[in-house]
């Protein structure tokens, strides 16, 4: 497990230079300190979050990414005050808020089913938080108009929530949270209710917003990796109530620390291989009797022993695989077991000779016409991919 989430002093603490030129370190905007949350009691207890550590710097966007039920929303609820930790603490701007009621935490929250005030018009809903936060009356109309424009809802200010579609209501909820320009903004699957085109434009809006509010920390729950990749400075990958990995999107993508993250982020192929000679961060490996080069990464903290003759997994993205003739130099012989056209590419599922119990996924450009059971040649890139430890780290 990567523990960058617990080493926030070096990774997450915002640094600024004050007027005297001295470097000042400010408190992280968000701290989870060994937070656990359990629902129910006795035999019916669900450990929804276990020993969760994370620091989010001021102005940083962190995405919580993981499969359904992995504890993402629970982490967010613990911070917002909607779920009480059974142990551990949460801090906002250095202040322990574990025992504060939600309304006193001063954070903007958008959840998937956020209920707007049904009797208030859209503009009144958005203005509500501004009034509660004592924004001068003269600024309210302008701030409401700005917030509605950000979510493409300028024309709907006079409507009641029941006169809007679900997606439109959610956009108003986002506008309402944004209008108060909170230091911490929590978003739980905020785009899930929107159709694909709207989701894209809202993603772009949220990116702009991120730039427009450089001091606001955002914690963004999603199970959609493309949202996490588009928005987050860092991604937390969660599984079974625990943090599995945390790092920048680029690092998690290029050098996944765990097989779970490799598979979850981008659906990588994890091909069993045997490690040979390792020099620095390069390794010779054997895959189905072929000897190939691979990257043997080292984490920033700790060290992986890529021991010679030990088993490992070779992480190869589907788009990095080339499919051609079986007679191509260095090609592995494979049989096409499925072919699905996806518009700009075709996803081939391949049974590769010498790799039993594994189907390799390859994305080839365009609408490639391959017959089922066709024999093809599969070439891995150079280097062939990145080594990932087998689950449990057995070497």
Ligand X SMILES: Nc1ncnc2c1ncn2[C@@H]1O[C@H](COP(=O)(O)OP(=O)(O)OP(=O)(O)O)[C@@H](O)[C@H]1O
Question: Residues in the site for ligand X, rule: CB under 6 A?
Answer: 39-40, 46, 48, 66, 68-74, 223
Looking at the Cβ atoms of 25 and 39, the one nearer to ligand X is 39
DSSP state, residue 389: P
CB closer to ligand X, 143 vs 223:
223
To 10 degrees, the CA torsion angle through 130, 131, 132, 133? 50
Sequence-ordered list of residues with C-beta below 8 angstroms from that of 245, at least 6 positions apart, any chain:
1, 2, 236, 237, 252, 256, 257, 258, 260, 261
**Residue in 40, 103, 45, 47 with CA at minimum distance from that of residue 75:** 47
> By three-state DSSP, how is residue 156 classified?
helix
Within a 13 Å sphere around the CA of 33, how many CA atoms are in the beta-carbon half? 13
As measured in angstroms, the least distance from the Cβ of 196 to ligand X is 19
* Residue 166 or 311 with smaller CB distance to ligand X: 166
The H helix count followed by the E strand count for the chain is: 9, 22
Query: Which residue number, 46 or 165, has a Cβ lying nearer to ligand X?
Result: 46
Structural Rg of the chain based on CA atoms? 24
Q: Is residue 171 reached through a cis peptide bond, with omega within 30 degrees of 0 on the bond before it?
A: no
Candidates 373, 324, 378, 318; CA nearest to 345 is 318
Question: Rounded CA gap, 93 and 81, in Å?
Answer: 15
Nearer to ligand X, 236 or 350 (CB): 236
- What's the min distance (Å) between Cβ of 187 and ligand X? 12
Distance (Å, whole) CA 246 – CA 4? 6
Name, in order, each residue with C-beta under 8 angstroms of 357's C-beta and a sequence gap of 6 or more: none
- Least separation, in Å, of the C-beta of 52 and ligand X? 11
With respect to ligand X, which residue has the nearer C-beta, 48 or 184?
Answer: 48
Q: Which is nearer to ligand X, 38 or 107 (CB)?
A: 38
**Integer Cα distance of 252 and 255 in angstroms:** 6
Closer residue to ligand X in complex, CB, 70/169: 70
d(CA 172, CA 158): 12
């Amino acid at each position: 497990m990567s523990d960058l989430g617990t080493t926030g002093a070096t990774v997450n603490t915002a640094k600024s230079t004050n007027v005297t030129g001295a470097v000042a370190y400010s408190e992280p905007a968000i701290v989870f300190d060994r937070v656990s949350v359990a629902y129910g009691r006795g035999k019916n207890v669900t450990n929804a979050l276990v020993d969760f550590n994370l620091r989010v710097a001021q102005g940083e966007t962190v995405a919580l990414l993981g499969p359904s039920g992995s504890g993402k929303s629970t982490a967010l609820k613990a911070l917002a005050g909607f779920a009480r930790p059974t142990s551990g603490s949460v801090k906002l701007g250095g202040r322990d808020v574990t025992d504060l009621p939600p309304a006193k935490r001063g954070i903007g929250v958008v959840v998937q089913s956020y209920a707007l005030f049904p009797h208030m018009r859209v503009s009144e809903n958005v203005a509500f938080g501004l009034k509660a936060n004592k924004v001068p009356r003269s600024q309210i109309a302008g701030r409401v108009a700005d917030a509605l424009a950000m979510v493409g809802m300028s024309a709907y200010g006079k409507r009641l929530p029941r006169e809007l579609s679900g997606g439109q209501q959610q956009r108003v909820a986002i506008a309402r949270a944004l209008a108060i320009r909170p230091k911490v903004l929590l978003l739980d699957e905020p785009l899930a209710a929107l159709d694909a085109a709207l989701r894209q434009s809202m993603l772009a809006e949220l990116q702009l917003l991120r730039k427009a509010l450089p001091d606001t920390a955002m914690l963004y729950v999603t199970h959609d990796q493309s949202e996490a990749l588009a928005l987050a400075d860092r991604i937390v990958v969660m599984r079974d109530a625990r943090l599995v990995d945390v790092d920048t999107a680029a690092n998690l993508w290029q050098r996944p620390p765990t097989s779970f993250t490799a598979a979850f982020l981008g659906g990588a192929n994890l091909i069993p291989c045997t490690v040979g000679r390792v020099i620095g961060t390069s390794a010779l490996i054997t895959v189905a009797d072929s000897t190939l080069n691979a990257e043997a990464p080292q984490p920033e903290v700790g060290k992986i022993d890529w021991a010679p003759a030990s088993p490992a997994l070779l992480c190869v993205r589907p788009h990095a695989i080339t499919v051609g003739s079986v007679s191509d130099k260095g090609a592995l012989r494979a049989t096409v077991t499925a072919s699905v056209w996806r518009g700009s590419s075709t996803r081939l599922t391949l049974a590769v000779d010498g790799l039993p119990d594994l189907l390799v996924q390859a994305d080839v450009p365009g609408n490639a016409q391959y017959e089922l059971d066709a024999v093809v040649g599969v070439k891995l890139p150079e280097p062939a991919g990145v080594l990932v430890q087998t689950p449990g780290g057995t070497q």
